[in-house]
Amino acid sequence: DINIYSSSRNSNIFSIKTDTINIKLFHLRSLKYSATSFSDYAEPIFPKLPYILQIELGSNFPKGTLHKIFYRNYFGSLKRLNFDGAHLGKEDEFAFGNYINLFSLCFSGYSKCSEIKFSELFDSNNIYSLQELKLPDIEITCLDLQFLSKINCLKKIYIYSLASQVHIINFLKLLLFVQEIQIKKLSVYGNEIYEQFGTKPVYLIWMNNYENLKYLSRCVE
């Protein structure tokens, strides 16, 4: 395992491509990488990491960076991806298209997504092994829901919000196979949820099925 924190381009071992770095990190299993220098930003140049199982990126990388890292390079053994402060855009289309064996994909911190649907980060022709998803501040559209409903291995998903055309009840029905669903922002669906379940939560945890639907005590007044 290795943790890399860079405060300037000169101290960033991934700012240049060298054979020495390739050799030393060839058998690396886990990488935690963060850079805080943005005025002289340059996309990180990752070496070949054929045995890497987990990568955590903790920087405000601009749009297109994830495509350059993960689409141009293929980390065939990768199982877990964590991002803190990622910016996703149209330039990141198909960034994770080849990662059919990825188990966990989590966005946290100040991750943002614009001009791209979550499902467009993948290849709709592939079947994925994702078991855990934590999505950034992005609305889940009908196209995204269709994509998620095909990930039969999915066990846990955290969603910030749903697009207005996505009905919450249909959303839950299509993801009935998911063991745990967490939805942060539900105020738009307050009336629909109230009609079905008699309360208006702003935060929802759904475990297993409708009989086990549980709401937190904090509700819309």
Residue 72 belongs to a domain? yes
CA 110 to chain centre: 12
Residue 177 domain-assigned (yes or no): no
pLDDT at 103: 98
Q: Is 175 among the domain residues?
A: no
pLDDT of residue 203: 57
How high is the pLDDT of residue 6? 52
Domain assignment of residue 219, yes or no:
no
Residue numbers in the chain where pLDDT is lower than 50: 7-8, 11, 38-40, 212, 215-221
Residues 6+ apart with CB under 8 A from 88: 63, 66, 111, 112, 113, 114, 116, 121, 136, 138
Residue in the structure block whose two tokens are 């002289």: 40
The dihedral built from the CA positions of residue 26, 14, 119 and 187, taken in this order, carries a sign that is: positive
Does residue 166 belong to any structural domain of this protein?
Answer: no
Contact 208, 175 (CB under 8 A): no
Domain that holds residue 98: 2-137
Q: Is residue 83 part of a domain?
A: yes
pLDDT score at 27: 87
pLDDT digits (tens, 9 = 90+) for 97-134: 999 999 999 998 678 888 999 999 999 999 999 999 99
Domain count, the chain: 1
Residue 40 domain-assigned? yes
pLDDT at 21: 56
Dist. CA 98–CA 123, nearest whole Å = 7
Give the pTM: 0.81
Residue located via tokens 């188990």: 103
* CATH code assigned at 94: 3.80.10
The pLDDT value given to residue 123: 97
Q: Provide the residue type at 130 as one letter.
A: L
Residues listed for the chain:
221
Cα 2 from Cα 156, distance rounded (Å): 27
Residue 98 lies in a domain: yes
